[in-house]
Copies of this chain bind each other. A is one copy, B any other.
Amino acid sequence: MRMHNPPHPGEVLRELCLKPLELSVSEAARALGVSRKTLSAILNGRAGISPEMAIRLSIAFDTSAESWLNQQTQYDLWAAEKRRKSLRVERLAA
């Protein structure tokens, strides 16, 4: 029902924002007001997009903070679903 392997939002960020503007990671990080390491981690899928980062992206690229966070939510949910069967939960509603 859900995607099998949604791209992490960092991948999308690189393709849709940095690439078209020919921005280096260093330049983009400086503009966003975060460290180069922080942005690099996001771009390479080793960190997620926090609410604050979503707002930074919305300012810098004139996009919707919500869309970035929703992408992140989808990705987090997909990752968490892999552990669904290990959760011991009783059903409370029909």
Binding site for B on A (CB under 8 A): 17, 21, 23, 28, 30-33, 51-52, 54-56, 59-63, 65-66, 69-70, 73-74, 76-77, 79-81, 83-84, 87-94
Chain B neighbourhood of A88, CB < 8 A? 33
Total copies of the chain: 2
Shortest CB-to-CB span from A53 to chain B, Å, is 9
A23, B56: Cβ atoms closer than 8 Å = no
Known: A62-B91, A62-B94. A51 touches B32 (CB 8 A): no
Cβ of B52 and Cβ of A92 under 8 Å apart? no
Query: Which among B21, B54, B70, B80 is the interface contact of A92 at CB below 8 angstroms?
Result: B21
Pair A51/B31 contact, Cβ less than 8 Å: no
Assess A60 versus B23: contact at CB under 8 Å? Given A70-B70, A77-B54, A84-B55. Answer: no
| Least Cβ–Cβ distance between A28 and chain B, in angstroms | 7
Q: Which residues of B contact A65 (CB under 8 A)?
A: 77, 80-81
